[in-house]
Homo-oligomer: A and B are copies of this chain.
């Protein structure tokens, strides 16, 4: 397995640059009619040409058979143990909206939802209200103080919000109020440890106040909370790899996750072209770039095979601009598979290509699941991608005498 203490010991700063391009949910499953996956269906001349100069493989984000959530999938790509490193959903959402989360804060992910007259949930997402509406409703809930604890309520996107409890002696070890199903009432939040009784009590009071305040705001007439958590403590990528890392992502959660591991967040637009332009403009300021493309995962989640194909083709068309920068190490992969056929994340291993002057290319000449299967990296844990990228950037010194 990857040993970050070892990597920390042998890593060194150098001018060489690494670009990690993540197509979220890249891996797929073959359409029965054609026998080809999304990536195999897409016309990708630039990725194929790159694959021919690369060493390729299939990565397992967490382990065989394990379907990753977004956080563990990305932690593995950054070289962290995705099972041992636990980041709560509340923390992820908070840092993802550039909220300056303090070490003692407890954050929870929230949904505006719809409840009927008897209090039973009829829509967990309140009809996906607009971000503007969400912002307006968050303003109504923001700034309460309960038992000397300040309650900060911030909009995320559509029906999503973050609730932050700020005060002393707060423990995040409480259950969710979100039952993750319809036709039942939101659950009472309960403490999982003695320390957490204060947070449970305050959170329940907050929910009750929110219900009263939102009564006339159907469909967003209630909130659901989940993933109460505090900032985790671990080594940053700067400390482990001696890198100056930056993230380019249009979607808040990925920026937040990258910030937690010590990346600078670069302001960017929403398109792939915007993201690549941001990379170009900031190229001289960093030596590691994590570029995140969300569209592949969204299309996969929606079960839209053809749209996922189109997003991949769009990345392929934009790729030459990125390659013109001639990064010393270029990695293209995903954080997990999201096959359109499954309409969700899956356990299937993910195509990876790693191109560098020193990569020892294999015979793979096409970037696809079936071609990468026979690549020089074989089927391997995603946690190994960072050490391989570091080595190919000549940023790791010899181990042992």
Contact residues in B for A386 (Cβ distance below 8 Å): 65
**Looking across the interface, which residue of chain B has its beta carbon closest to that of A341?**
B358
Interface size on A, residues (CB 8 A): 67
Q: Give CA–CA (A397, B66) in the complex, Å.
A: 8
Is there an interface contact between B376 and A378, defined as CB atoms closer than 8 Å? Answer: no
Contact B69 A399 (CB under 8 A): yes
In angstroms, how far is the closest chain B Cβ from the Cβ of A216? 32
CB-CB contacts below 8 Å: A44-88 with B: 58, 62-73, 82-83, 86-88
Query: 13 extra interchain contacts, Cβ-Cβ under 8 A, other than A7-B65, A374-B374?
Result: A29-B358, A37-B360, A62-B399, A63-B384, A65-B391, A65-B396, A67-B398, A67-B399, A68-B398, A68-B399, A69-B398, A72-B399, A87-B401
- Which of the residues B1, B83, B390, B401 comes within 8 Å of A227, measured between beta carbons? B401
Contact A67–B391 (Cβ < 8 Å)? yes
Residues in B with CB closer than 8 Å to A297 are: none
A150 to B341, CA, bound (A): 61
Q: Is A370 an interface residue (CB 8 A)?
A: yes
Minimum Cβ distance to chain B for residue A383 (Å):
9
Are the C-beta atoms of B360 and A29 separated by less than 8 Å? yes
- Are the C-beta atoms of B71 and A401 separated by less than 8 Å? yes
* Contacting pair A400 B63 (CB below 8 A): no
Q: How many Å from the CB of A190 to the closest CB on chain B?
A: 19
Which residues of A from 317 to 368 have beta carbons under 8 Å from B? 339, 341-342, 344-348, 358, 360-363
Q: Does A282 touch B at the CB level, under 8 Å?
A: no
Contact call A373/B373, Cβ cutoff below 8 A: no
The answer to whether A63 touches B379 (Cβ under 8 A) is no
Measured between alpha carbons, how far is A22 from B222 in the docked complex, in Å?
A: 53
Answer yes or no: A89 CB below 8 A from chain B CBs: yes
| Given A69-B400, A345-B398, CB of A64 within 8 Å of CB of B360 | no
CB neighbours of A62 from chain B (8 A): 399-400
Cβ contacts A to B, 24 pairs, < 8 Å: A2-B64, A6-B66, A30-B360, A58-B376, A62-B400, A64-B387, A65-B386, A65-B389, A65-B390, A66-B396, A67-B398, A68-B399, A69-B401, A70-B401, A73-B400, A82-B400, A87-B401, A88-B401, A227-B401, A344-B398, A345-B398, A363-B370, A373-B378, A379-B380
- Chain B residues with CB under 8 Å of A266's CB are none
User: A7 contacts which chain B residues (CB < 8 A)?
Assistant: 65
- With A64-B387, A66-B6, A401-B92 given, is the CB distance from A369 to B374 under 8 Å? no
User: Residues of B contacting A362 with CB < 8 Å?
Assistant: 370, 373
From known contacts A63-B1, A65-B390, infer whether A358 and B384 are also in contact, taking CB-CB under 8 Å: no
* A152 CB–B CB distance under 8 Å: no
Evaluate contact between A67 and B227: CB separation under 8 angstroms.
Answer: no
Could you tell me the distance in whole angstroms from the C-beta of A334 to the nearest C-beta in chain B? 14
Give min CB distance, A270 to chain B, whole Å: 22
A56 → B minimal CB distance (Å): 11
Task: Say whether A265 faces chain B, with CB atoms less than 8 Å apart.
Answer: no
Nearest residue (CB) in B for A390 is B65
Residues of B within 8 Å of A379, CB to CB, are 376-378, 380
Q: Which residues of B contact A344 (CB under 8 A)?
A: 398
